[in-house]
Chain A
Amino acid sequence: MKTICLYFEIHQIVHLKRYRFFDIGTDHYYYDDYANEASINHIAENSYIPALKTLIQMAKDSKGYFKVALSLSGVGLEQLEQYAPVVIDLLKELNETGCCEFLAEPYSHGLSSLAENWEDGFREDVMMLCDKIYELFGSRPKVFRNSSLIYDDEIGSVVADMGFKGVLTEGAKHILGWKSPHYLYHCALNPNLKILLRDYKLSDDISLRFSNPSWKSYPLMSGTYVDWIASFPEEEEVINIFMHLCAFGIYQPLSSNILEFMKALPEAARKRGITFSTPSEVVDNYKSIAPLEVAYPMSWVDEERDTSCWLGNVMQREAFDKLYSIGDRVRLCTDRRIRQDWNYLQASNNFRFMTTKNNAVTMDRGIYESPYDAFTNYMNILADFINRVYWAMPADMDIEELNAFQTTIRNQDKEIQSLEKQIARLKASKETKPKAAKQKQAKADSKK
């Protein structure tokens, strides 16, 4: 039986502010609060709120037939908590319907999975988000999806090792070749990790083409859409449709009735005997048909479906290498602000602004006019950040040394505590002794 696995990404970056080189060392606040508030409010009002309300209604109306998965980046969540908490409430409401699964991803929405010798950092990044999801929604994610669906065999093996049973990624043509994305696959290095592949044609039909009048399938109706799915060969059972939640209202205007299209989807599917599943259910209920070998990282971005839009040119690689060169030190830091800046600076969008690729889709670079501008601004901020990290964790000590010092410091606390306890005990006993002596004296006196 065919099943549709719907998944939406919720992520917004923290916009960096214009930061000139003469600010290095004097200004340690890197963010454009106004831009952040404005963009989050805009997106929440025009997209997240109406879209989530629709999803909640769909879940309630279909009495459990409709299912959906969401993943939230930690950085995006923080933004929502701060500027649009109503979205969090809606997410909780959706969670209560029981039709929604939350996935795990790196907290920073960064490229930590691609950094060398950074497996522990990557794990930490993911665990941080799992904790956050647990805190908000009361359950721990079981399925993982990387930032922008970046995946290769090694990432798969690490993720499997962390206990995830499934991973979402792109059904990239250059990886699949003649294979179809409509099956469940498993990781070549660890068969316990199942792979769900995005059908980019069906996904982009909604998120990129829906309201385009020059598209040959315009206007798209739910019936037609489900007919396409129903017409796939019978063995092709898992249809994965993944996109940004922004597709509703930002990429495609609400005036295109895209939400009506969504609302009609469950009923149209039910008529054709097609069910909905969350990624966990797909992993549990369907069998993997083959291992999928992915030697080089792929993603859902650009025509190339690789990592070239973040790490394609020398500037991006320098920024990336510089950032992760201090990763070990940041992990030792306990300073809350350094940890927070670290998350925000890792976000992949920062690197994407520096791309020099010519894209068919014109890119919104935010405050930046050119890739060089984006690079310069980011490097200025990074220079300041690195200084702060080195100030906290001196550059002339290596990591082992720092680690040893930290343990000593931590142990010192314990030692001091135990010594203090001892002192207290001794003091107490000292105080009780004279008392006891006095009492003895008193007893002796009374006997007399």
Chain B
Amino acid sequence: MNVLMFGWEFPPHILGGLGTASYGLTRGLAHQGNVNITFCLPKPWGDEDQSFMKIVGMNTVPVVWRNPDRSYVESRYPWMDASDYYRFRDHIYADFNYIGVDDLGCINFSGRYPDNLQEEINNYSIVAGVVARTEQFDIIHSHDWLTYPAGIHAKQVSGKPLVIHVHATDFDRSRGNVNPTVYAIEKNGMDYADHIMCVSELTRQTVINKYHQDPRKVSTMHNAVEPLPQEIQDIKPIEHPNEKWVTFLGRITMQKGPEYFVEAASMVLNRTHDVRFCMAGNGDMMNDMIRLVAQRGIADRFHFPGFMKGRQVYECLKASDVYVMPSVSEPFGISPLEAMQCMTPTIISKQSGCAEILSKCIKVDYWDIHALSDAIYSICTNRSLYEYLKVEGKKEVDSITWDKVGERILSRYNSLLGR
């Protein structure tokens, strides 16, 4: 089976959770065997893992006819097969000179989320037309709203079924104040899709109720995690025998509910003093949080180490005794799974999608600071609860693999294709 996928991010150059999820999902699908995936990215860096699929850089696909030397194409994009360039060139379907193309007749992409995002999405969809006319495939799979227009275009060109993957909706990002342009793109994508995969039941309900989709064509496809690489597993946790560390890790924005974490911390610190709180990350609510911490008078026990990446994240998770994610609305939320991989007991809000598949962690309503602080206190004071969540949580998260997700996606493809 040949699958044409449209994505926006891919590791190692990622900006959010979308890239990680796209990678795991494609790999899980490729492991099923007999699945050939062509993954379109706006701007690949050339160091992506291409062992299990083929990456097409949208910035290397010509939309205007040029006639460069083969050697020139090869020198520009050494990581791709130059004959692809000529193959794509044979399928240019309209005159796009007005867009502004480079010397190879390709459109440039930033590959990020720039201010002219709308324009990039549009260009992406134009290029997708060329790709869809060139490649042979049985099914189209679009990841997140940025690539929905491309998916629709490919569907209209080829007549193949379109699957869209909802990693988040604008309702999660904006807490209700939806951007009408984004909503229109999302809704249009869903309307055209033959099948909609959501990362959680929570998201599925949003899709059904807010985007008015037929429940029969919307399914839940929970995310999973990649096993930790050996060098991460080998990190020795920092010892701090006389203190407990409680960690919040993520963007400090309204969506993540940081204020509930601070309030819970202040309740815990009212009673005990051998606990430290750490709020890693940055975001537009960071200054407010610093002010709130000062107001509650707990600044000596509450720390803001700033944005962390790569190895630092795991060092921080491994050193923690409790990981807390009090998100107000989280389509899935992969970080608690990572914390559990690091054997850190985890507290998550019931309003996160990952709560649907996790049972060896404590779940509270994000607004219930009493329950949240009680859970933190309990893990810090009761050894057995700590041990149980640590050991059983690791076991549970180890059984959540992308291969299983790939299997489910493949069977969904098959039923869509009537096989």
Binding site for B on A (CB under 8 A): 20-22, 24, 313-315, 317-319, 356, 369-370, 372-373, 375-377, 379-380, 383
Contacts of B370 in A (CB 8 A): 20
**A21-B374, A318-B382 known; A372-B270 Cβ under 8 A:** no
Interface contacts (Cβ under 8 Å), in number, total 62
Task: Tell whether B375 is near chain A: CB-to-CB under 8 Å.
Answer: yes
- Majority secondary structure of chain B interface residues (helix, strand, loop or mixed): helix
Task: Tell whether B20 is near chain A: CB-to-CB under 8 Å.
Answer: no
Q: For A20, A315, A372, A379, which residue has the most chain B Cβ atoms within 10 angstroms? A: A372
**A21-B373, A22-B267 known; A373-B384 Cβ under 8 A:** no
25 interchain pairs, CB-CB under 8 A: A21-B268, A21-B373, A21-B378, A22-B267, A22-B270, A313-B388, A315-B382, A315-B385, A315-B388, A318-B385, A319-B384, A356-B388, A370-B359, A372-B362, A372-B375, A372-B378, A372-B389, A373-B362, A375-B382, A376-B375, A376-B378, A379-B378, A379-B382, A380-B374, A380-B378
Task: Tell whether B377 is near chain A: CB-to-CB under 8 Å.
Answer: yes
B223-280 interface (Cβ within 8 A of A): 267-268, 270-271
- If A21-B374, A21-B378, A356-B388 are given as contacts, then 6 extra A-B residue pairs at C-beta distance below 8 Å, sorted by A number, are A20-B374, A22-B267, A313-B384, A315-B385, A370-B362, A372-B362
1/0 contact trace for B331-356 toward A, CB 8 Å? 00000000000000000000000000
Closest Cβ neighbor of B350 among chain A residues: A369
Partner of A314, one of B362, B373, B375, B384: B384
Q: Min CB distance, A80 to chain B, in Å? A: 32
Contacts of A22 in B (CB 8 A): 267, 270-271, 373
B374 touches A315 (CB 8 A): no
Q: Min CB distance, A379 to chain B, in Å? A: 5
The 7 closest A-B pairs by CB, nearest first: A318-B384, A376-B378, A314-B384, A21-B377, A315-B384, A372-B362, A20-B374
B389 touches A376 (CB 8 A): no
A376 touches B383 (CB 8 A): no
B345-404 interface (Cβ within 8 A of A): 359, 362-363, 370-371, 373-375, 377-378, 381-385, 387-389, 392
Contacts of B270 in A (CB 8 A): 22
A22 to B267, CA, bound (A): 8
**A21-B271, A22-B267, A369-B363 known; A314-B387 Cβ under 8 A:** yes
B363 touches A375 (CB 8 A): no
A319 to B385, CA, bound (A): 10
Contacts of B267 in A (CB 8 A): 22
A314 touches B377 (CB 8 A): no
Contacts of A24 in B (CB 8 A): 271
Contacts of A379 in B (CB 8 A): 378, 381-382, 385
| B contact residues, total (Cβ < 8 Å) | 23
Q: Min CB distance, B151 to chain A, in Å? A: 40
Closest Cβ neighbor of A25 among chain B residues: B271
A318 to B392, CA, bound (A): 16
Q: Min CB distance, A357 to chain B, in Å? A: 12
Closest Cβ neighbor of B270 among chain A residues: A22
Closest Cβ neighbor of A376 among chain B residues: B378
Contacts of B387 in A (CB 8 A): 314
A314 touches B374 (CB 8 A): no
Contacts of B385 in A (CB 8 A): 315, 318, 372, 375-376, 379
A372 to B387, CA, bound (A): 12
**A21-B373, A22-B267, A314-B388 known; A375-B378 Cβ under 8 A:** yes
A317 touches B384 (CB 8 A): yes
Contacts of B378 in A (CB 8 A): 21, 372, 375-376, 379-380
Q: Min CB distance, A110 to chain B, in Å? A: 19
Contacts of A375 in B (CB 8 A): 378, 382, 384-385
Q: Min CB distance, B397 to chain A, in Å? A: 16
Closest Cβ neighbor of B347 among chain A residues: A372
A319 to B384, CA, bound (A): 9
Contacts of B363 in A (CB 8 A): 369-370
Closest Cβ neighbor of A313 among chain B residues: B388
Q: For B271, B370, B378, which residue has the most chain A Cβ atoms within 10 angstroms? A: B378
Q: Min CB distance, A365 to chain B, in Å? A: 13
Contacts of A369 in B (CB 8 A): 363
Contacts of A370 in B (CB 8 A): 359, 362-363
A376 to B387, CA, bound (A): 14
B374 touches A318 (CB 8 A): no
Q: Min CB distance, B375 to chain A, in Å? A: 6
Q: Min CB distance, A322 to chain B, in Å? A: 9
A314 to B371, CA, bound (A): 22
Contacts of A315 in B (CB 8 A): 382, 384-385, 388
Q: Min CB distance, B68 to chain A, in Å? A: 63
A376 touches B374 (CB 8 A): yes
A313 to B385, CA, bound (A): 10
Contacts of B389 in A (CB 8 A): 372
Q: Min CB distance, B13 to chain A, in Å? A: 38
Contacts of A319 in B (CB 8 A): 384
A315 to B381, CA, bound (A): 12
Closest Cβ neighbor of A316 among chain B residues: B384
Q: Min CB distance, A318 to chain B, in Å? A: 4
A377 to B370, CA, bound (A): 12
Q: Min CB distance, B362 to chain A, in Å? A: 5
Contacts of A356 in B (CB 8 A): 388, 392
A373 to B370, CA, bound (A): 12
Contacts of B381 in A (CB 8 A): 21, 379, 383
Contacts of A317 in B (CB 8 A): 384
Contacts of A373 in B (CB 8 A): 362, 371, 375
A313 to B388, CA, bound (A): 8
Closest Cβ neighbor of A358 among chain B residues: B359
Contacts of B268 in A (CB 8 A): 21
A281 to B270, CA, bound (A): 61
A376 to B371, CA, bound (A): 10
A20 to B377, CA, bound (A): 9
A375 to B363, CA, bound (A): 14
A342 to B388, CA, bound (A): 26
Closest Cβ neighbor of A21 among chain B residues: B377
B132-159 interface (Cβ within 8 A of A): none
Q: Min CB distance, A407 to chain B, in Å? A: 36
Contacts of A376 in B (CB 8 A): 374-375, 377-378, 382, 385
Q: For B363, B370, B374, B382, which residue has the most chain A Cβ atoms within 10 angstroms? A: B382
A276 to B218, CA, bound (A): 60
Q: Min CB distance, B21 to chain A, in Å? A: 27
Q: Min CB distance, A313 to chain B, in Å? A: 6
A334 to B371, CA, bound (A): 35
Closest Cβ neighbor of B388 among chain A residues: A314
Q: Min CB distance, B40 to chain A, in Å? A: 43
Contacts of B371 in A (CB 8 A): 373
Q: Min CB distance, B345 to chain A, in Å? A: 9
A376 to B364, CA, bound (A): 13
A318 to B378, CA, bound (A): 13
Closest Cβ neighbor of B370 among chain A residues: A20
Q: For B362, B370, B392, which residue has the most chain A Cβ atoms within 10 angstroms? A: B362
A318 to B382, CA, bound (A): 8
Contacts of A313 in B (CB 8 A): 384, 388
Q: Min CB distance, B93 to chain A, in Å? A: 56
Q: Min CB distance, A233 to chain B, in Å? A: 47
Contacts of B377 in A (CB 8 A): 21, 376
Closest Cβ neighbor of B384 among chain A residues: A318
A312 to B55, CA, bound (A): 51
Closest Cβ neighbor of A379 among chain B residues: B382
A22 to B372, CA, bound (A): 12
Q: Min CB distance, A35 to chain B, in Å? A: 18
A375 to B370, CA, bound (A): 16
Contacts of B374 in A (CB 8 A): 20-21, 376-377, 380
